[in-house]
Amino acid sequence: MPLTALDIYKILPKTNCGECGVPTCLAFAMQLATKKASIDACPYASDDAKATLAGAAAPPIRLVACGPQDRRIELGKETVLFRHEETFYHPPAIAVRVRTDQPPDELRAAFDRVSALDFERVGQTLRIEIVALEDATGEAERFAAAAREADAAGLALLLMSDAPAALDAAASAVAASRPILYAATADNWEAMAQLAKRHNCPLAVRGRNLNELADLTARIAALGMTDLILDSGSRTHAATLADLTQIRRLALRKMFRPLGYPALAFVTANGPLDQVVEGTAYICKYAALLVTPELEPWQALALVTARQNIYTDPQKPIQVEPGVHTVGSPDTDSPVLVTTNFSLTYFTVEADTEASRMPAWVVVVNTEGQSVMTAWAADKFNAESIARAVTDSGIAERVAHRRLVIPGGVAAISGKLEELCGWQVMVGPRESAGIPAFMRTQWRQVAAAAS
Ligand code: SF4
């Protein structure tokens, strides 16, 4: 909870000397509470008062960075319980478990499979970022060698071992890439905290329940180790979801510092579909790091798609640049299609146009990121805005014909659009999936008749 002016007044010197620029300590406290002044303006403020104020100003959930410098991953620092209240800021990283008790060539193949889990969707690259490397043998050199191999493959690391010596060896091998060390427990927390501090790596802390977890993080933070990641120890779907929710609520609503860190969750379901369902639930509420068994590409795609959707700002739809886009290498006879600048709409149209195997021009109208029917209902995708976009795009200089294909859902504007822009307007399919058939039949017939 933020400090009130009265809370702050209690920790000020109360001498009313006026050196801070206001006549009394209470007036200065009121300025501090409303963030109109800095504690540095009071030369007599104690170190404890400064620390208290700095602590109160810290975000309720700490931001923890991991991974190599050029591919840093940031976890935590969320500010709301519900996405519609503001937005979620830092998408959860996904870590795929790989055990070290396999021959080197199989280990390398496992890293390659994780590296290959990247996808293009609505103009963004979505990928699985982390390998959760499990020390399955307790052999320090073997664990360190596997960590080096994963690091060389460009993957960030979650290093999992019960053996401090093995964890130390692996962390030493890849410390520059800032792996997450897993895990400090009630039995080893002091040694693990020192290890993480020495290597300047984030440390995952595992409790047997939330009370033990909060107790451990408070002890570890007191040693000066504050880049922590929480593991409540739950391994069933319902209990993990309950713990993640409780952690988020306590951190945001109560400013409960011992749980004010990003939290991780393990996917433990057996069936591949159940694993996706479980992982998606944790992405929604409220994992900052998801640890999964090895994933098939379709599973990874489902998880990163859910993540992309949940971590898109609900007030700012993903958009593409308005103007002329190309599909393939269109020429002066190629079709000209019109659509909106909502990314999901645009990339669906692009993919379906590609499927028609006919190069095309696509004029993208600025509808502030709205889809065709939403923009039409909001009067942002109408005859006037399309005619203006066609003129501004300069498409008339790039094609020899004057035929425009509009989405079937806005067929009603075709007459007015023809009047405004002087092009022949062809009504395309209602769904973009119909584009290949439309190109093969209607477009070809009209183009052939015109030539
Ligand atoms: S400088 Fe410090 S002690 Fe003096 S009035 Fe301001 S807050 Fe109070």
Q: What is the pLDDT of residue 1?
A: 60
The whole-angstrom separation of Cα 264 and Cα 58 is 21
Render 295-320 in DSSP notation, one character per residue.
--HHHHHHHHHHHHHHTS-TTS--B-
To test ligand 1's pocket by mutation, which of 11, 14, 28 has the most ligand atoms within 8 angstroms of CB?
28
Structure tokens at 143: 């664990």
**Could you tell me how many residues make up the chain?**
451
d(C-alpha 191, C-alpha 169), whole Å: 14
Angle CA 357–445–448, to nearest 5: 95
Give residue 3 CA to ligand 1 midpoint distance, Å.
18
> Which of 8, 11, 20 is the pocket-test mutation for ligand 1 (most atoms within 8 Å of CB)?
20
Q: pLDDT digits over 303-362, tens only? A: 999 999 999 888 777 889 999 999 999 999 999 999 999 988 999 999 999 999 999 999
Q: Among 9, 14, 16, name the best residue to mutate to test ligand 1's pocket (greatest count of ligand atoms within 8 A of Cβ).
A: 16
In the reported structure, the alpha carbon of residue 4 is separated from the centroid of ligand 1 by a whole-number distance in angstroms of: 17
> In one letter, which amino acid is 318?
I
Backbone angles phi, psi at 59, to 5 degrees: -65, 150
d(CA 320, CA 345): 10
DSSP string spanning 45-67? Answer: --HHHHHHHHHHHS-SS-EEEES
The pLDDT of 81-86, averaged and rounded, is: 90
CA distance 339 to 350: 10
Q: Which residues pair with 362 in a beta bridge?
A: 325, 337
DSSP-based three-state secondary structure for 23: coil
**pTM value?**
0.78
Cis-peptide, bond into residue 449, ω within 30° of zero: no
Nearest ligand 1 atom to alpha carbon 29:
7
249 vs 231: CA distance, rounded Å: 16
Enumerate residues lining ligand 1, CB below 6 A.
12-13, 15-20, 25, 28, 42, 44
Contact of 291 with 279, CB cutoff 8 Å: no
Q: Helix 272-284 to helix 297-310 angle, to the nearest 10 degrees?
A: 20
List pLDDT tens digits, range 240-258. Answer: 999 999 999 999 999 899 9
